[in-house]
Each structure stands twice: as structure tokens, then as C-alpha cells.
Structure 1
Amino acid sequence: MKTKQRVKMVFLDIDGTLFVNGHIVPKSAAAVAKLVQNQIPVAVCTGRSVIHAKHVQDALGIPYGIYFNGGLVKAGDREIFSLPFSREVVRGILTAAERRGIQTIIHTHDHAFTLQPIPAEYLPVLASYDFPPITCEPGMAGRLDQIGVFQLNAFMTAEWDDVFEREFPECYVYRWHERAVDFQRRKSDKSIGAMKLLAHLGIAPEDAVHIGDGGNDIGMFRTMGYSVAMGNASDEVKRAAKWVTSRADEGGVADALAHLGLI
């Protein structure tokens, strides 16, 4: 498959793609190192926050990042694109959650905090998803209108998903655990952030590839010229991609990059 001359940018999901069971997959890490050595631009493209993705980027030497499912784009320390929640939505969700006894986590571009201590029962949920350190800062309640909030996590069960989506049509609920969700901007998509970064770098989307495993990768599969689903992805995600590689824990990213002729 002679594609090396066309693929000029590589986007990589993190969880279930590069990162499995609390670790970066060594075979895939070695493949990314070859990309960087070959001066092929690489970006993580993730639902994670900046601080949640930073240790993965640093370990792999990846300079570019699309975070919060497209809500924030950075080239090194330079912010390329930013799409935080409106202040009204942030206040509304937090008030509605507090009224129902639902614990929340607030994410800014460089910070994750709560307004109340996280109950001990939820700490294993956070640990299993490699969450960054989260501080309890009740005093931040008075500063919410002055900061950009890109994502909210909530510890709640599935019966609340539709309730919050009806009350806050500006956002959608992305469930990542039976007891936990993300609140994300409805107009946010990984592909929106990726297009901003491609324009910044002067690369056409048809010359880019995205490799991922989740439902939040489908927008990228439809937008980029090349798309690869991980072998551990669902059937729906696999159908949306142009090609399916091996499982993440088998080094599927490395196999995909080899298939594309990039390493």
C-alpha cells in the first residue's frame, strides 16, 4: 500500500489506542518515536484534558494536542483553538448536580478541581482511568465566571443522562463508566479541533490519518483522508473506518503505521 507520499499528519487517540491497562503500549511507543524521528507531525486527539494527556505526550515526544474532544487545540504551549462552555451552562449543570447530590469535577485548560471532597467510593473509578491529581477548592466557586471550563465530569448512573441532556441541550453526556460521565459541548468534535490544527500547519485533511477505537473517533474517520480503527474497537467504530488494525495491546498503532508505509 503506497501511501507514504500522501500521509503528512498522524492523529492518535490515547485510551484504547496508545494507552492500555494504565500503560503506553511499548510497541506503539517505538513506532511513534520513528514518526517523530522522521519529522512527520503527530498529535494526540483525545477526550482527555491537557493535564490528563501531558504525561503521555511527554513520554512519546508528541508536540501537538487536541483535547476535550476538540474543545482545545495546542501546538506545544501555544493555544491554537479554544471552545469552552458558556458560563451559564457551567453554573446550570453544577447547580442541578448539587441539588441532586451528584459529585462533579471541573476541568480548565490546565487544572482539574472539585468544589467538594470526592467521596472515597469514587476514587477507584478515577484510578482505573489514569486521572490526573484533582484538588478540592471550594473557593473556586466564586471564580467560575472568570475561567474557561472545557469539561465537567459527574458521578451519576445512567438514569440521569437523558435528564441532563434535556435540561442542557447545549451539551451532551458521554458515559465512560457505569457510574461516571463527561459533560461536553454538543458542537465539539475531535474533527473540529483537528481541522484547526491542520489549517495552522498547512496540511490538507485528505493527507492526514486518524487512528482510534471509540465512538468519539468516528467524526475524525469521516473527515480525514485515512482512518484506522483499532482491533479492540466496537463493530460500529470499525465500520466507520477505512481499515482495521490489530488490538491496542498487540501494538495496533505500530501495525497501522507500518501498513500505511510511514515506518
Structure 2
Amino acid sequence: MIKLAAFDVDGTLRDRSFLPESTKEALRLLREKGVALAICTGRSEYELAPLREELGIDWAVTCNGAHVGYQGRTVVGNPFPAALVRGWLEHAERAGHELLLYGAEKMFLNRHDAPRFLRAREEIGFMEPAVVRPGDWDRLPHIYQAIVFCEEAEQAGYTSLSEEALYTHRWRTWAVDLNPAGMNKAVGLRRLLEHLGLKPDEAAAFGDGLNDMEMMQLVGHAVVMGNGCDELKAVATFVTKPLRDDGVAHAVRHLETTGAIR
């Protein structure tokens, strides 16, 4: 039986500002049945706070698994070494790249003139980051994820600065996520399940993209949105309708009908 349901955000819970009323109702039903709810996303805790509060979700696995929070407070995290973050900032300054840094409570951008960040914000939405200047680099809080706005041929200038291999996810030809070694959504979700004393087969995951793959392979119930990619659908235990066709609600009804939710 499902005791926790974890949801990707973009393409699963919402499409930019579009959030189906049916999704809100489905989440309310899950809460009423005692199912714990979690967001599981590549975005930051800071960015997701308004959505989490609107939907009544207490838990958030953010930064592609590097941070786990409860009602916005850090429970467990795996930040980058401060020296590595400073090295990235120095390299970005020399190369003229835009670098977005995710802390638990704030986001930071290294430049005022940031056309690629603005393009990404237009395409998928970002909250406004604080601009951090060289004199502030040593006062940054723990950083759990970075986005480098650069071409693939330029990303080695960042990955080569780490003593360990980094988890990278390129989501545009000109933008790549950087996470600590070994991080992905499944790692963070497993930490949350262990914290709650739950087994992976007692969890359901809802997602649509390739960075949901490890999470889907971890849980007992892998729900892929109808608008999801074919590679993810291949590992699904259930493919639901697209987000805009009440996909989350359709999946919750299916899980209830099959007895996975009681």
C-alpha cells in the first residue's frame, strides 16, 4: 500500500502557471487517506516554497536529490565544497558565463546582464535570484546545485575543477545542471523514505522527464504522465493522461481502484 507519493513539478504538477484544480483535489484525497506528500524536483527549496504551501505538501526533495526539507527547513543535505563553488565563480567570471547557484533559502546569480538566464526564465520560469559579486563569494551559504549557462564544449571548465565526478543533467544545449557526485532524485527520495521509516515499495512517484528515471526505478509505483518522454514510459507501472488532461487525478483514481491507496 502506498504511504508516500512523490511528485516532479514541471510537466507533472504544473505547466508554468497552469495548475489543474483536479490535481489539487487529488492531493487533498491523498492527504485524507494518510498518504504523505513530497515534491521531488531539480528546482530549489526556495523556489518551490509557494507551490508546496499552496498544495499542502510538507516534504521536498530538491536540487535533484541533494537537499531534503520539511516545511522549508533542512532535514538532510549534501552541499558542494565551498572551495569548488568559488572556483566555479572565478571561472565563470573569466569566461563570461552566467552561473546560477541554489542554496536552501535563496538563489544566487553571478551577473546582472544574464540573457541566457532570462531566456530560461521565460521558457520554464525562475524566481528572482540575488546577484552575488566577488566580494560576497566567501559569504555564500551552502550550495546544493548549480546551473551553468554554457555550451557542452565549455562545461569541462567546471567539471574539471571537482576532484570527484559530478552528476550533470543538460536540459538545454546552452544550460546544464551540476549536482554533487552520486546525486539524483532517487538518492534524495531514498533518504526521505529512510527518515520516515518507509520502504521504496510503499512509495509512488509521478514524473515526466529523464531526470525522473532513477526515482521511477526506485519506487513500487511508477506513474508517468501522458506528456512524458518515451524512455520514462518504458519503466512505468502506469502511464496516465497528460498533465492538462487531469493526469494526476486520473492516476490517483487508478491507484485507488487497484487498492494501492485505501
Normalising by the residue count of structure 1, what TM-score does the alignment of the two structures yield?
0.89
For the pair 1:37 / 2:32, whether they are aligned, the reply is: yes
Equivalent residue runs for 1:216-255 within 5 Å = 216-255=211-250
CA RMSD of aligned residues (A): 1.9
Distance 1:121 1:44, change over 3 A: closer
Separation in structure 1 between the aligned mates of residue 115 and residue 4 of structure 2, nearest angstrom: 42
Separation in structure 1 between the aligned mates of residue 91 and residue 175 of structure 2, nearest angstrom: 16
Distance 1:184 1:121, change over 3 A: closer
* Structure 2 residues without counterparts, runs of 5 or longer: none
Are 1:246 and 1:252, in contact at CA under 8 Å, matched by a contact in 2?
yes
Separation in structure 1 between the aligned mates of residue 176 and residue 211 of structure 2, nearest angstrom: 14
Separation in structure 2 between the aligned mates of residue 98 and residue 171 of structure 1, nearest angstrom: 21
The answer for the alignment partner of 1:153 in structure 2 is 147
Shift of 1:132: 1.1
Equivalent residue runs for 1:114-153 within 5 Å = 114-120=109-115, 122-138=117-133, 139-144=135-140, 147-153=141-147
> Deviation digits for residues 96-123 of structure 1, max 9, x if unmatched?
2222211111211111122331334642
Shift of 1:177: 2.8
Greater relative contact order (Cα < 8 A, sep 6+):
1
* Structure 1 residues without counterparts, runs of 5 or longer: 1-5
Shift of 1:77: 4.1
Separation in structure 1 between the aligned mates of residue 113 and residue 17 of structure 2, nearest angstrom: 22
For the pair 1:82 / 2:77, whether they are aligned, the reply is: yes
Separation in structure 1 between the aligned mates of residue 116 and residue 38 of structure 2, nearest angstrom: 34
Are 1:153 and 1:182, in contact at CA under 8 Å, matched by a contact in 2?
yes
Are 1:115 and 1:141, in contact at CA under 8 Å, matched by a contact in 2?
no
Distance 1:120 1:219, change over 3 A: closer
Are 1:190 and 1:217, in contact at CA under 8 Å, matched by a contact in 2?
yes
The answer for the alignment partner of 1:51 in structure 2 is 46
Separation in structure 2 between the aligned mates of residue 21 and residue 76 of structure 1, nearest angstrom: 22
SS in 2 for 1:175: strand
For the pair 1:195 / 2:190, whether they are aligned, the reply is: yes
Deviation >6 Å, runs of 4+: none
Decide which of 17, 27, 47 is 1:22's aligned counterpart: 17
For the pair 1:178 / 2:170, whether they are aligned, the reply is: no
Distance 1:48 1:121, change over 3 A: closer
Q: Which amino acid aligns with 1:103?
A: E
Shift of 1:91: 2.1
SS in 2 for 1:62: coil
